[in-house]
Amino acid sequence: MRKLNLGCGFDHREGWVNADKFPKCRPDVLMDVETPPWPFQDNEFDYILMKHVLEHVGADFDDFKQVMQELYRVSKPDGLIEIQVPHFRHDTFWSDPTHVRGFTLLTFEMMSKAKNDDWIARGANYTMVAYLMEVDFEVAQASIVYDPRWLEREKRGEVTREQLRIWSGEHWNVAKELHVTLKAKKPFSR
């Protein structure tokens, strides 16, 4: 299994291709995620990890589109892309001046051709991002990581997990991160 740790920082993983743009991180591959084409072959990776990377890239839609197209290109058919980003309603997202893009689960669902086709058939008012980007990612898994302060309150029995789920959509600093695993559906066809 070929695995890519994209934007690895100092988190080097044994058996992975560790890639980053910062030489001080001493990556296996020195590259900038926002500068295509990436130095990898088409369909090269079974698994790609982007741990707190995607929120730093693609401030402009065309740049973001290129990043997602490159992810799609280097993923094997049915390859998995694990993405971890800060929740847009948490202080950690807004505190870092290098964060340029926020995400919700819907952001990633918009990159699914099946979802786009369903929305087209229903006349829904969504941007057909999969077609705009010419990518097809299926959301294979998604979860919210809750702020440790709220998890402690859950542990003490003061709140339930269901309350946390609901409140994360309504209140600040309940959800800390969004973790999404995408599956590359290939080939892309119109």
Quick one: pLDDT at residue 189?
81
Confidence of residue 190 (pLDDT cuts 50, 70, 90): confident
Residue 14's pLDDT band (boundaries 50, 70, 90)? very high
Q: Does residue 42 register a pLDDT over 80?
A: yes
Q: What are phi and psi of 145, to 5 degrees?
A: -100, 120
pTM given for the model: 0.95
Is residue 23 helix, strand or coil?
A: helix
- Amino acid present at 180: V
Cα dihedral 139, 43, 114, 55 in deg (nearest 10): 40
Neighbours of 23 (CB within 10 A): 8
| % of the chain with per-residue pLDDT over 70 | 100
Mean model confidence pLDDT for the chain: 97
Are 109 and 165 in contact by the 8 Å Cβ rule? The answer is: no
What pairing do the DSSP bridges indicate for beta strands 17-20 and 29-30? parallel
Beta strand ranges found along 97-184 (DSSP E): 137-146, 175-184
Q: Which one-letter DSSP state was computed for residue 38?
A: P
Domains delineated in the chain: 3-146+176-184 (3.40.50.150)
- Return the beta strands (E) in 87-152 as ranges: 137-146
pLDDT tens for 70-128 read: 999 999 999 999 999 999 999 999 999 999 999 999 999 999 999 999 999 999 999 99
Contact between 7 and 50 under an 8 Å Cβ cutoff? The reply is yes
